[in-house]
Amino acid sequence: MKKKIALLLTGTMVAGLFGGVMNVAADDSAEKIKITYMEWGDETRLKAAEEAFEAQYPNVDIVIDNCGGNYNDYVNKLKVTMAANEGPEVFKLQPGALLEQFKEYVEPLDTYLEQDYGENWKDKFEEAIYYQIEDENIGWMGAPTYLSLAGTLFVNETILEENGLEVPTTYDELVNCCTALREKGIFPVAMGAKDEWADQDFIVTLFNQIAPGKVYEVEKGNGKWTDPEMVKALEQWEKYFTDGVFVDGALGLSIYNDAVDMSQNGQAAFLFNGHWYMDSFLDEETGTKLEDSYKWTVIPLPAADDGETAVQVALSDMICVNNSIEDEETKEMAYKFAMFFAGDYMSEFSKTTYIMQTAMKDIPLNTTFRGESGPKMDEELKDMVQYGKGARELSNVETKSELIIVLQEIAMGTLSPEDGAARVQAVADGQ
């Protein structure tokens, strides 16, 4: 796992981009520790992280593999390399199915964290993430980045006001609003139902509106997918299509950039997306255009009259260390690099990426919005945390895959919610 490269050091080096000064004694015989980091994020941002960490630790060679920025390519490559014992020293996972798929390769970080922060080291992190990052058989599975919030509608208030409409607070109000918008030639809710992640975010929100937390228990076998509450959520999903709440052709659209373009161009009054969409309001060009053109607000997906307000508040990512690293020096440096993403990197990352709340406490952020709507929505999102009902990601890979197929067939009108629920339950029964 450890590749050494000859290096001549001629003095001391200073860490620049992320602050802090680190003196490294010159040593003609010094050799670099190679750490490969694999994920699917933006190459430019990851390159900046690489350079910043290497400035702090000149004895380390960070190699970034972002798999072309493609999530599916990342998952496939990680699967192949880990199985061959050729995986990266450090890699990114998300709570849910992705973590379940790869957690056997994760090194527990408890000992390292206690060495750095003492016996009360957990106090350094937000309590809301504990259940997602700690496994009773493994321990603390990674360095947590920031909290994610899903189950929201971004609302173009200007469009609503110009058409004498108010921001809806219930599903019935949303239906009436969308009907009125359609009559005026305005698109209702821009939804990219072609995207599996968007479908998952939406249905988990509906499950939690109708029976908070039940879907996670059903995944564990403590309940059935055919239970009345689960079927009711599938029926509610169907209504978003039959009631004309989603834009026509939503099944053929992606969030990025089909639905996003509809929203940003003023064609659609609503956009289904998560907190990460706030990146648009940080971008100098896009954010300025959005702020200058319209007023915006963000709301939880309106629930039916007998439902509860629900969003999913979860740990976005964790940076994990490969447990097959044999060299202890390399493993410790891999831990330091993982923790770099939880701490120092978050401050720099927040300049271009919206961070609602870091998982590690007391990390200063450098968020700059381009107008008045951005800060307002920032506060609205933080206020929604109180409605958190569970994680975004479903953890059972097989039932999740079948559920996504079922959702799309229900949307096409070729499958009833009852039969769809039975199909998912059949997969669960076969496990």
pLDDT in tens, 41-61: 989 989 999 999 999 999 999
Residue 171 token pair: 């599903």
Looking at residue 192, the DSSP 8-state letter turns out to be -
Question: Which pLDDT score is estimated for 163?
Answer: 98
7-25 as b/e, with b when 16 or more CB fall inside 10 Å?
A: eeeeeebebebbeeeeeee
H helix intervals, 294-396 = 328-342, 344-349, 373-384
* Four-residue CA torsion sign, 128, 133, 135, 138: negative
- Which pLDDT score, from 0 to 100, does residue 40 have? 94
* pLDDT of the residue at 26: 36
List 149's β-bridge partners, or say none: 313
The CA-based angle 358-363-364, given to 5 degrees, is 115
Let me know: does 52 contact 346? Beta carbons within 8 Å: no
pTM of the predicted structure, to 2 decimals: 0.84
pLDDT at 128: 86
33 strand-pairing partners: 60
Residues in the chain predicted with pLDDT less than 50, given as ranges, are: 1-29
For residue 227, the model assigns a pLDDT of 99
What per-residue confidence (pLDDT) applies to 106? 99
Domains and CATH numbers, the chain: 1-149+316-387 (3.40.190.10), 152-310+396-429 (3.40.190.10)
Q: In b/e form, how buried is each residue of 59-73, taking b as 16+ CB within 10 angstroms?
A: bbbbebbbbeeeeee
| Whether the Cβ atoms of residue 382 and residue 376 lie closer than 8 Å to each other | no
Instruction: Tell me whether residue 137 is exposed, middle or buried, using C-beta atoms within 10 angstroms of its C-beta: 0 to 12, 13 to 18, 19 or more.
Output: exposed
pLDDT reported for residue 340? 97
Strands 268-273 and 187-190: parallel
* Contact between residue 247 and residue 190 where contact means Cβ atoms under 8 Å apart: yes
Distances (CA, A) of 6 to 27, 102, 360: 11, 33, 36
Q: How many Cα atoms within 13 Å fall on the side-chain side of residue 184? A: 17
The span from the CA of 126 to the CA of 159, in Å, is 38
* Angle, helices 228-242/397-412, rounded to nearest 10 degrees: 40
- The whole-angstrom separation of Cα 335 and Cα 114 is 13
CB 272 within 8 A of CB 250: no
Phi then psi for residue 160, to 5 deg, are -65, -45
Q: Is 175 helix (H, G, I), strand (E, B) or coil?
A: helix
Neighbours of 185 (CB within 10 A): 7
